[in-house]
Amino acid sequence: MVDEPPAIELRGLARYFGERTALRDVSVRVPAGATLAVLGRNGAGKSTLLRILAALLRPHAGDVLVFGEPLPRRAFAVRGKLGLLAHEPLLYRELTGRENLEYHARLHRVGRERVEQVLQAVNMERRADEPVRLLSRGMVQRLAVCRSVLHEPQLLLLDEPRANLDPAASDLVEPLIGRASGCTRVLTSHDPRAALAEADLVLTLKDGRVVYLGEPGALSDSELEGLYA
Amino acid sequence: MRTALIVLRKDLRLELRTFETVPAMVLFSLVTFVIFHFGFNRATIDGQLAAGVLTATLLFAAMLGINRLFVAEREQGGFDAFLLAPVDRSAMLVAKAAGLFTFLALLEVIAIPAFGLFLLGPSLGPALPGLILVLALADLALAVIGTLVSAIAVQTRARDLIGPVIGLPLLIPALIATARAMGPLLRSAHASSAPPGKWLAILALYDLVFALLAYAVFDFLLED
């Protein structure tokens, strides 16, 4: 019997921005269907890691394999399987929410009915014909969630996914980006305890280096607090 | 081609929604014609002088469009969203070049009659078929080089400077050919109804070479 490759495998990953080290010697395996929480202070390298996994940034050293495909060389093979919810919503401000989602749906060869389905899921169908620039941050974040899951990705890269969402809106997006979505997930959060609650694996970063990699239950409160001290 | 049409449709919709680029290009051209009118202190111009004025005006108006071509992609995450989709990256080049070509054509629909009204001595009528041919080839050159340069410039902090600094030298051969091809069409006496074949051929060759070059390098410009 052949073992299924992990959804994500990083070996000795490094990335620099000029003289600054954003990530150094990061190695991790994430099984399919699992959730990896990436924690660390601002500038620890969390967003850089997500952008490398999304094939938007090149690693400067090490191997990155997503669904067994090496990135960025085989990025084309995994693009349709990835969904990225980034800090920026990746929506055009002058277009309406529906126009934005229809544009992304066409790029991903997804039908219009899926657009309506995700809009209904986040309760945005009545505001979907207003330009994005007129919507509140929470509404824009709900549309960004719709965009990231429109093509039903197998791997969700979630950078602060619940930023700007009130508890009700957070509950609305849960079936799309939460554990119930069934996707492999990599998530960062400004609320480490909330992230730990939904993680199978935790990776903590400090100045681009791995401080802790393991199960969330084994991470002590003092280690967690030390990370943000 | 399908992806290019999707991106082009989105770009045209954005322009229709904002009216940022084409009106600015048109206004710039009209003001420039008025400035030339008073600057020359002549009621009309013709021949090679008229061709030079028209070429320079359209070029600088095009630079406005070139500078704005990728701004929405850069500032609103359009690049990232496009790169996350399983599509051919060259589609972005085709879409942006087609969009810029459309903007230039719209500009010329207004600017050429205005040029005839404000500055040009001879009637535009007989020169129009030849002029359309020359402008179509010139617009193609501006669209291809403009897209290439804009994709480079938008990644830099000094994007408003990079566009003209790289784009203008690259466009010199095309601009010379455009002005020389238009000159005989805009003469008062013995005006030709057909542009000189030699300059048309140079323009067409320039378009072909740079379109192939742009296609070959564009993928790398979208890399981080």
Which residues of A lie inside 8 Å of B (Cβ-Cβ)? 54-58, 76, 79-80, 82, 84, 86, 88-95, 99, 103-104, 106-108, 131, 147
Q: Which of A55, A90, A93 sits opposite B81 (nearest CB)?
A: A90
Residue B14, pLDDT > 60, answer yes
Cis peptide before B126 (omega within 30 of 0): no
Over residues B116-120, mean pLDDT: 87
Helix (H) or strand (E) holding A85: strand A82-85
The pLDDT tens digits for A150-183 are: 999 999 999 988 888 888 888 888 888 888 788 9
Dist CA B108 CA B114 (whole Å): 9
A172 min Cα distance to partner chain B (Å) = 23
pLDDT of residue B204: 96
Contact at CB, A94 and B223, closer than 8 angstroms: no
Contact at CB, A86 and B77, closer than 8 angstroms: yes
CATH class as words, domain A8-91+154-228: alpha beta
Higher per-residue pLDDT: B11 or A170: B11
A185 min Cα distance to partner chain B (Å) = 16
- Chain B partners within 8 Å of A58 (Cβ): 223-224
Contact at CB, A107 and B82, closer than 8 angstroms: yes
pLDDT of residue A3: 67
The pLDDT tens digits for B56-93 are: 999 999 999 999 898 888 888 888 999 999 999 999 99
Kindly provide the b/e burial profile for residues A79-113, where b requires at least 16 CB atoms within 10 angstroms of the residue's own CB: bbbbbbbbeebbbbbbbbbbbbbbbbbbbbebeee
Report the complex ipTM.
Answer: 0.88
In chain A, where are the structural domains located? 8-91+154-228
Backbone torsions φ then ψ of A66, nearest 5 degrees: -120, 120
Contact at CB, B13 and A95, closer than 8 angstroms: yes
- Is there a contact between A108 and A80 (Cβ–Cβ < 8 Å)? yes
Point out the residues of chain A with pLDDT beneath 70: 1-3
Contact at CB, B84 and A88, closer than 8 angstroms: no
Over residues B123-132, mean pLDDT: 87
Q: Which of A56, A103, A108 sits opposite B83 (nearest CB)?
A: A56
Find which of B84, B88, B222 to mutate to test the A interface (most A CBs within 10 Å of its CB). B84
* Sequence-distant (≥ 6) Cβ neighbours of residue A186 within 8 angstroms: A8, A30, A35, A36, A38, A49, A50, A53, A155, A156, A157, A158
- Is there a contact between B190 and B123 (Cβ–Cβ < 8 Å)? no
Closest CA to A165 of A65, A89, A59, A60: A89
The pLDDT tens digits for B159-205 are: 778 888 999 999 999 999 999 999 998 887 666 667 788 999 999 99
pLDDT of residue B190: 62
* pTM, full prediction: 0.89
Range name among A9-18, B104-113, B166-175, B214-223 with the lowest pLDDT average: B214-223
Would you state the structure tokens that stand for residue A130, as one six-digit string? 């207003």
pLDDT of residue B224: 67
pLDDT of residue A99: 96
Dist CA B115 CA B133 (whole Å): 17
Dist CA A10 CA A70 (whole Å): 10
Q: Are strands A61-66 and A8-17 parallel, antiparallel or unpaired?
A: antiparallel
Q: Which percentage of chain B shows pLDDT scores above 90?
A: 62
- Chain B partners within 8 Å of A152 (Cβ): none
Would you state the structure tokens that stand for residue B207, as one six-digit string? 């378009």
Q: Which amino acid belongs to residue B107?
A: L
Q: Which amino acid belongs to residue A175?
A: P
Over residues B204-217, mean pLDDT: 94
Q: Which long-range contacts (CB under 8 A, 24 or more apart) does B197-202 make?
A: B200/B133, B200/B134, B200/B137, B202/B173, B202/B177
Closest CA to B100 of B148, B57, B132: B148
